[in-house]
Amino acid sequence: MYTDNYLPQPPIFAAFFFHMKRLLSYLYPIRKKVPSQYNGKLEVTWYDGKKYLNTKNANYSYGSLQEILKFGLEQINLNPISNCLLLGLGGGSVIDTLRSDFNFQQHITAVDIDPVVIAIAQKEFQHYNSPALNMVCADAKAFIHETTTRFDLIIVDLYIDAYMPSQFTELSFWKAILKSHSKQGAIIFNAALHTSNSKVLQPIISLLKANGFTVNIHQKVNGTNTLLVAQTP
């Protein structure tokens, strides 16, 4: 379970400590380690005035991961998108990207299996449930099979440390993604860390094309990841 190390503080002290940590992080990284049943040791790190969420071997949120998903969002037309499903909330950096860089104010449903991650998204990165954001603690596979909502944009960003569970490349998962998609919008899939994974992606690409999507594979985005970007005409 995630617990904040500090006693509740009046807002003025909280703001003071926030700025102290930010300034000190220019001198040396400030790390807080948080154990999680699903993700091993999570690390909230202040570095050079910015806060990141990392695992032992991967950047989960903010930093490189945020740049990779931002690149994906730059490839699509967000104007007709009226709702978004994010599978893999992490610290919620893509939510900040959508809101701040793309002025996307539509509803976002964000799913994560890990209650510790959701607590970190709230307490460390200030993402709260609101009329425009619904954070759900659930297994992404179960959620996508059960939901009756149709989403215009689905972002699939599901990792355990540096590893994407193989169930998320199975066609049954992608058929459920298509069932939950309005077919008027886009899908962004953060498909692999460091490797091209092209063989595994081929059946998914064929399925998406057969359902009217144009599909582009971007290799080595930000020097590392493979990103699948699918959109309807």
Ligand X SMILES: C[S@@+](CC[C@H](N)C(=O)[O-])C[C@H]1O[C@@H](n2cnc3c(N)ncnc32)[C@H](O)[C@@H]1O
Q: Is 174 in the site for ligand X (CB under 6 A)?
A: no
What 8-state DSSP symbol labels residue 78? Answer: -
Tokens of 102: 């793309």
Q: How far apart are CA 231 and CA 233, in angstroms?
A: 7
Residue 97's identity, in one-letter code, is: T
Stretch of 11-19, 44-52, 86-94, 209-217 contacting ligand X, by CB under 6 A: 86-94
How far apart, in whole angstroms, are the C-alpha atoms of residue 98 and residue 78? Answer: 9
Cβ-based nearer residue to ligand X, 123 or 165: 165
124 binds ligand X (CB under 6 A): no
CA distances to 26, 92, 111, 116 from 86, in Å = 32, 9, 6, 17
**Site mask, ligand X, residues 135-154, x = CB under 6 A?**
----xx--------------
Q: Is 114 in the site for ligand X (CB under 6 A)?
A: yes
Asked whether the beta carbons of 126 and 40 are under 8 A apart, the reply is no
What's the rounded Cα separation, in Å, for the pair 33 and 36? 10
One residue of 158, 178, 188, 204 binding ligand X per CB under 6 A: 158
157 near ligand X, rule: CB under 6 A: yes
Which CB atom, from 167 or from 214, has the smaller least distance to ligand X?
A: 167
Q: Which is nearer to ligand X, 113 or 192 (CB)?
A: 113
Nearest CA to 224 out of 197, 202, 206 is that of 197
Q: How far is the CB of 44 from ligand X (least distance, A)?
A: 12
d(CA 139, CA 116): 14
- Smallest gap, in angstroms, from Cβ of residue 61 to ligand X? 3
Please identify the residue of the shown chain whose CB is closest to the bound ligand X: 90
- Under the binding rule (CB under 6 A), the answer on residue 169 touching ligand X is no
- Which residues of this chain interact with ligand X, rule CB under 6 A? 38-39, 60-61, 65, 69, 88-94, 111-114, 117, 139-140, 157-160, 165
